[in-house]
Amino acid sequence: MNKKILKQALLFENETPVYSNVKELCEVAVVYQDENNLYFLQAKRGQKAFIKNESEFFRFLSYTQDIHVESFVDITNILNATTRSENIKFSGDSKTNIVKIFDAVVVVKKKGEIAKLYQSCDLGELEAIEHFLAIENGETFLNIEQFAENFSEVYFVYLAGYANTLTREFLKTKEVNFFLDFDIEGMNIYESFECKSKHFHMPWHVENFFSDKRYNNVELYKKQRARLKSEYSQELNQLKELIQKYNTVVEQEIVYEEIIAKENVK
């Protein structure tokens, strides 16, 4: 993590800084954009720099600085952290960044096999596959075999949050079941996808985890609640009501890990 680059990123929060004031950040961003065929930052010497796509900008920072940020508030929290524990708290969530992907690959795993990386030229191999389970988090994706019996899909695709451009384009022609965190960001991620058909996976017993404080993530809820939209697709109404009823959120892997843990005790 380069604090100088993060400080330069903060300059974009309330102004359009000149290139010389964000030079180091721009140099890293230009390379990242070229390598991944992206355009989220307009930056030329002697001119002001502009963010063209904030979500891609924060994804770029997360990847290149080995942190997890989704807003300028997140960057401020990281820079203001005074202890190692605070840095862990603000620079990432409870999960390990197991797989980092650019817009050059789609990460797919077939049940019973290891995950594979598909570049654009390789996606023809998956053309005949219509149904996919889309998984938000890396840890859950790599351990999906433990939960696979709860899903009818045989092919799993890793999203890494909002997913890269190639993955989003690939899923436009597919029928996709989304296994996401049961939180505000999960709903927003779901709404952002265009697919041939899509479904948000909601286990029948999910309210048990909202009502049990052992499984709540109140801090994450507080961090996300400003991004709660007034309207969502009808199928998300149940989740929205649970979030508002209990003022908390639940992470995706918990709902099935608990079942597995109980079965192992028997």
CB distance 123 to 169 below 8 Å: no
Would you say residue 101 lies in a domain? no
Domain check: are 48 and 164 in the same one? Answer: no
* Predicted confidence (pLDDT) per residue in 124-137, tens digit: 999 999 999 999 88
Q: How confident is the model at residue 34 (pLDDT cuts 50, 70, 90)?
A: confident
Give CA–CA dist 22/11, Å, rounded: 8
Would you say residue 170 lies in a domain? yes
**CA dist 34 → 2, 21, 37, 42, 155 (Å):** 21, 22, 5, 12, 31
Whose structure tokens read 């029948």? 204
Q: Domain range for residue 225?
A: 106-265
Domain check: are 178 and 155 in the same one? Answer: yes
Domain check: are 149 and 50 in the same one? Answer: no
pLDDT of residue 258: 58
The helix-helix angle for 72-80 and 84-91 (nearest 10°) equals 170
* Predicted confidence (pLDDT) per residue in 93-114, tens digit: 434 343 444 557 899 999 999 8
Q: Phi first, then psi: what are they for 191, rounded to 5°?
A: -65, -25
What is the distance of C-alpha 160 from the center of its chain? 4
pLDDT of residue 215: 86
Q: Three-class SS of residue 178? A: strand
pLDDT of residue 156: 96
Give CA–CA dist 183/189, Å, rounded: 10
pLDDT of residue 22: 92
Question: Which of 35, 62, 91 represents a domain boundary (last residue)?
Answer: 91
pTM equals 0.63
CB distance 104 to 38 below 8 Å: no
Q: What is the residue type of 2?
A: N
Number of domains forming the structure of the chain:
2
pLDDT higher than threshold 80 for residue 261 = no
pLDDT of residue 101: 45
CB distance 29 to 50 below 8 Å: no
CB distance 141 to 109 below 8 Å: yes
